[in-house]
Amino acid sequence: MIGEFERPLVIGKAKRPRAFKKLDVNKFPVDWCWNKKAWMTTQIMTDWLMKFDKKMIKSQRKVLLFVDNAAPHPHLKLQNVELVFFPPNMTSHCQPLDQGIIQQFKKLYRKQLLQKAIADLDAGESSAINVLDAVYWVASAQAQIKSKTVKKCFLRCGFSHQGDEQLGQTIDK
């Protein structure tokens, strides 16, 4: 258990929001996807999983990815990523993200939002926030979450550091 994150995936309502004018979305610190409702879809999740699997193949890593039973989450057979689905109605008890990671992320994101609002107020400007601000705040908030926080949240769910080596051996077989 390393306690690392993948690049955030942000789903918006527009393929190219006005705030992205003349910017290369491939250079953003997040992966940008879109659909009319800004919802996770099976296609977006499948594309993300395939990309993640290719990354794991390239880096010669085999990983377990724990996923909740949300409708858009496909049951795929991947080469270097094994999907493990949480039991229905148990996500809040066994999902590490619900043990403090999401709370920490929201706190860090809101801190940036408030800093912008205060800076605008101090400058005598009205505070206008756009999707580009949000994209960078998402990446920044995620980057500020410490590896030890992630590890502690996994431990709260019953995951153990002691089994890391054994788990790696099991996956390799």
Would residue 121 count as lying in a domain? Answer: yes
Q: Residue 73: its pLDDT value, please?
A: 94
For range 24-28, the mean pLDDT = 95
Q: Residue 86: its pLDDT value, please?
A: 87
Count structural domains, the chain.
1
Q: What is the dihedral of CA 14, 66, 63, 25, to 10 degrees?
A: 10
Q: What is the pTM of this model?
A: 0.85
- Highest mean pLDDT: which range of 4-8, 103-107, 123-127, 145-149: 103-107
Measure the CA–CA gap between 156 and 97, rounded to whole angstroms. Answer: 11
What is the pLDDT of the chain when averaged over all its residues? 90
pLDDT in tens, 91-101: 677 888 889 99
Would residue 26 count as lying in a domain? Answer: yes
What's the domain range around 148?
9-172
Length, in residues, of the chain: 173
Least confident of 76-85, 118-127, 133-142: 118-127
Would residue 4 count as lying in a domain? Answer: no
Please list, residue by residue across 96-119, b when 16 or more beta carbons sit within 10 angstroms of its beta carbon and e when fewer do. Answer: bbbbebeebbeebbeebbeeeeee
Would residue 152 count as lying in a domain? Answer: yes
Q: Are 31 and 8 in contact (CB under 8 A)?
A: yes
Measure the CA–CA gap between 117 and 154, rounded to whole angstroms. Answer: 34
Q: Residue 162: its pLDDT value, please?
A: 64
Measure the CA–CA gap between 44 and 34, rounded to whole angstroms. Answer: 9
pLDDT in tens, 58-105: 999 999 998 988 899 999 999 999 999 988 877 677 888 889 999 999
